[in-house]
Homo-oligomer: A and B are copies of this chain.
Amino acid sequence: MNPVKVIKIGGKVAESEKDLNIFLDQFTAIEGLKVLVHGGGSIATKLGEKLGIKAQMVEGRRVTDRETLDIITMVYGGLVNKQLVAKLQSMDCNAVGLSGADLNLIKSNKRNPEPLDFGWVGDIEKVDHQVLIALLESGITPVIAPLTHDGNGNLLNTNADAIASFVARALSQHAQTELVLCFDQPGVLNEGKVITEMNLLLYRHLRDTGVITDGMIPKLDLGFEALSGGVKKVRVAGFNTLSNHDQGTVLAS
């Protein structure tokens, strides 16, 4: 199969009409096969607050109870996903919005409730690369929401970076694959400056010395896993630098 790019955007980008348009202009300008994976950002949190659904926390992390799962399904699977698809169609990009349940694309397992019960959260078991390949080879651009299913009729809240990493790995068995994790910063930062290249040794050093913290740690773990799993190139970059192949932080094995 021809080379393919898997692009992930964070929810924050989708929340700003201006940022989203900048991103989509660059995304649609990418020639060749591509997949978009999106998060949902704070829209779901805001909707939950408006509905008076109190966030349940376990050790500082949010629990996906049934009501929260419904909100995530509405906001990520419905609002964000369908608006992205409608915009892409207007830009002559033949998109199809998918959750992991659609076409049985991504099966996951509800996370073990021991030692901590995070509720309806899924850890990915399997991405059906055949489905993605068939869509891509028909000229279709999959737009994947951060929702998977357990095969028993339940949807599961699933991290968008993880979906992007697993999708890229699955495709890399059949095509030269690049993974770009886009967000609202120009790359991984050290004292405000972008780290242009990072390997595992440097990553571990910066993590252990507290330069890389919080949400960047699981993001980079997933990036390096993609790289060791066969993905040709992994980049953490600003949402507005898609067109420049070398901007952001390039991961090296």
Interface assignment of A77: CB less than 8 Å from any CB of chain B:
yes
Q: Are B90 and A151 in contact (CB under 8 A)?
A: yes
Number of interface residues of A (CB under 8 A): 40
Interface string of A47-78 (1 = CB under 8 A from B): 10011000000000000000000100111111
Please determine whether B85 and A78 come into contact, CB atoms closer than 8 angstroms.
Answer: no
User: Given that A94-B103, A94-B104, A104-B94 are contacting pairs, would A86 and B149 also be in contact in the complex, using a CB cutoff of 8 Å?
Assistant: yes
A24 to B, closest residue via Cβ = B153
Q: How many copies of this chain does one complex carry?
A: 2
Identify whether the interface residues of A are mostly helix, strand, loop, or mixed.
Answer: helix
| In-complex Cβ contact of A76 among B78, B96, B97, B98 (8 A) | B78
- Known interface pairs A94-B104, A152-B90. Does A79 touch B83 (Cβ–Cβ under 8 Å)? no
Residues of A in contact with B (beta carbons under 8 Å apart): 47, 50-51, 70, 73-79, 81-83, 85-87, 89-91, 94-99, 101-104, 134, 138, 140, 147, 149, 151-155
